[in-house]
Amino acid sequence: MSERNITRLIPRQILFGNPDKTSTQLSFDGTKIGYLAPVDGVLNVWVGPAVDPAAANPVTKDTGRGIRFYGWAYTNEHVLYIQDKDGDENWRLYSVDVNTAETKDLTPVEGVQARIQEVSPNFPREILVALNDRVPEFHDLYLVNIDTGERRLVQENEGFVSFITDDDYNVRLATRMTPDGGREILRSTEGGGWESFTKIPMEDVLTTSSVGFDKTGKTLYMISSRDRNTAALIRVDLETGEQSLMAEDPQADVSDVMIHPMEKNVEAVAFTYERKHWQFLDESIAEDLAYLRTVAEGDVEVVSRTLNNRFWIVAYVVDNGPVRYYRYDREGRDAQFLFTNRRELEGLPLAEMHPVVIGSRDGLNVVSYYTLPGGSDSDGDARPDEPLPMVVVVHGGPWARDAWGYNAWHQCLANRGYAVLSVNFRGSTGFGKGFINASIREWGAKMHDDLIDAVDWAIQQGIADPDRVAIMGGSYGGYATLVGLTLTPERFACGVDIVGPSNLVTLLESIPPYWQPLVDLWATRVGDHRTEEDRAFLAERSPLTYVDRIRRPLLIGQGANDPRVKQAESDQIVQAMQDKSIPVTYVLYPDEGHGFARPENRLSFNAVAEAFLAKCLGGRHEPIGDDCEDSSIAVPVGAEEVPGLTEALAKGERKNR
């Protein structure tokens, strides 16, 4: 890449800082608009007139981690949001009167996790909430008044994974795991008991779920892969059990369903293979989407709708710019631009994300995405002029997926001079049950082979320099990083592990209590830590077992309050590396959990990661500078391995004295 073609360095703050406005939602009557926006650097809920979003004011007062999840109540005068403490995922539920900004803690119990079960227009001042306050493993259902916080027990949990409720707050169905890793759906009886309604085999359990009821309550919409490979949308007659097909795609599972907010009929169904596409069951919705595609560039997402379905909030998603939000009046067929989510991204030299299907060594089609630095592809053939250092960014889950669109890490790394590759390895969701089931008991084996095959493809295509390939990711992506540096120690030049497990036995032994009902799912698909035979198998698939094989630099990031991947997962591999005199840099945040929510912490870790990658791969980086000063960062081990980190920590300590 010639010097004159190198784009200017985009500041980290622009790429990873708080958005200007995001999570835009209309009240159900369409009179108000809400969104998340910073107040003194902390995300809070803002509310204003729907016709004048610029007149919005903050109605919440969070000063710590920032609010990430909120929604409107059907009163149209309240917003509901959840917040935990320092990443512990013991979510509390709050109600805010948008007229007075008065906040009510609806679940004021320490060490308990609240989940919103159902919000219904039939009961605007009450919601169904799931709480594990009686038994930590199981969430009971309560009816909670959003004005007073008064709650009443509706359904005690007798060992179920979840409940399925309707708009009248009736508990219609319940689900529980079966010992073979399948799932059973049970129906409530008039006598207050339960009877089996249907069973979901193990091979279908991750690709089959309920969507909701029709207006009569006699039909259940389900996403189901039973009797097929990809998950289709079906309707189930609850009286007879008869099933009928509504929409399916031969390559992809259902990824989204549009259901009329009031009439409860299915209007459209989306499927996402490389890109998202829709099938329309209601012609009027097809006409709306046809018009909306003429309004702006990008994939159209309907992110909020009024109860009468007249007004929508529509988001336009692109790969090389911010999300654009519009307020759409269906009656007038008129879309009015509101704002973008990140104004400072506008006009920046951002890179295009390329979808590609890569063949695995055993014949699977692996949907992947790669991004090239600006100026590296002079003839526009989606291949760089010369092989580049490359970073493989591995998604978490593992039962999740990467998709096309703006990705801050892709943009940051491409701007620094790297090719970036994200791989939907087997076990990723959205590609049919055959693809997801090909990952059973394949952690650290065929799932990792898919990543290696994708790297080999990038090398063969002249995209990646084989001597300068890094691997990084969070959660399962962190585990994949550790696998990469232990089981294939010569393949990667370095690794960045964020909250990744190092020992599958201790990971499964320390899952949160409310995950216990799902233990048979993990036992079947990963390995059963409750048997001696599988404990040995899990040890074979654990990076900690092979720590002495690590040859390349490793950066580890961890939240001290992580309830999913405990701090011990990082502590033990760091200690094992120290015992063998293998260098490692360990970054720890005392006020974070499974990932880094506070923007100051996120910014500081990304600054460290950027400097680390530049040292290992030779790319550009923005110096760490002051980006550690306002964070809670601690580096127990290895600060000297990252350029500028020791100085940045000392500067932060001086400031905070």
Catalytic residue (one of 410, 529, 594, 621): 594
Rg (CA), the chain: 25
pTM (2 decimals)?
0.95
Q: What is the pLDDT of residues 261-275, one digit of tens each?
A: 999 999 999 999 999
DSSP 3-state of 346: coil
Q: How confident is the model at residue 189, as a pLDDT?
A: 87
Catalytic residue (one of 562, 627, 631, 632): 562
CB atoms within 10 A of CB 52: 9
Low-confidence ranges of the chain (pLDDT < 50): 1-4
Q: Is-catalytic flag, 562?
A: yes
Distance CA 370, CA 358 (A): 11
Q: Domains in the chain and their CATH numbers? A: 158-281 (2.130.10.120), 353-503+542-656 (3.40.50.1820), 506-541 (no CATH)
Tokens (6 digits) for 409: 């890490």
Taking every pair of Cα atoms in the chain, the longest distance, rounded to a whole number of angstroms, is: 77
Q: Which long-range contacts (CB under 8 A, 24 or more apart) does 245-251 make?
A: 246/221, 246/281, 247/279, 247/281, 249/273, 249/279, 251/431, 251/432
Looking up tokens 């097809």, which residue turns up?
Answer: 286
Tokens (6 digits) for 186: 């049970």
Q: How confident is the model at residue 657, as a pLDDT?
A: 53
Q: What angle do CA 628, 646, 11 make, to 5 degrees?
A: 40
Q: How confident is the model at residue 183, as a pLDDT?
A: 96
User: What residue spans of 440-566 are helical by DSSP H?
Assistant: 446-460, 476-486, 504-509, 519-525, 532-540
DSSP classification of residue 204: G
Q: What is the pLDDT of residues 525-543, one digit of tens each?
A: 999 999 999 999 999 999 9
Q: How confident is the model at residue 188, as a pLDDT?
A: 87
Q: Are strands 334-340 and 219-224 parallel, antiparallel or unpaired?
A: unpaired
Residues 6 or more apart in contact with residue 639 via CB below 8 angstroms: 585, 645, 646, 649
Q: Is-catalytic flag, 475?
A: yes
Q: How confident is the model at residue 549, as a pLDDT?
A: 97
DSSP classification of residue 159: S
Q: How confident is the model at residue 1, as a pLDDT?
A: 45
Nearest to 307 by CA among 424, 432, 167, 471: 167
Which DSSP string do the residues of 111-151 spell out, in sequence order?
A: T--EEEEEE-TTSTTEEEEEEEEEETTEEEEEEEETTT--E
Q: Is-catalytic flag, 520?
A: no
Q: How confident is the model at residue 363, as a pLDDT?
A: 96
Would residue 54 be called left, alpha or beta, if left means φ above 0 and alpha means ψ between -120 and 50 degrees? alpha
- Give the helix/strand (H/E) hosting 295: none
Distance CA 25, CA 311 (A): 11
Tokens (6 digits) for 534: 């599988």
Catalytic residue (one of 27, 188, 475, 542): 475
Buried b (16+ CB within 10 A) or exposed e, 283-304: eebeebbeebeebeebbbbbeb
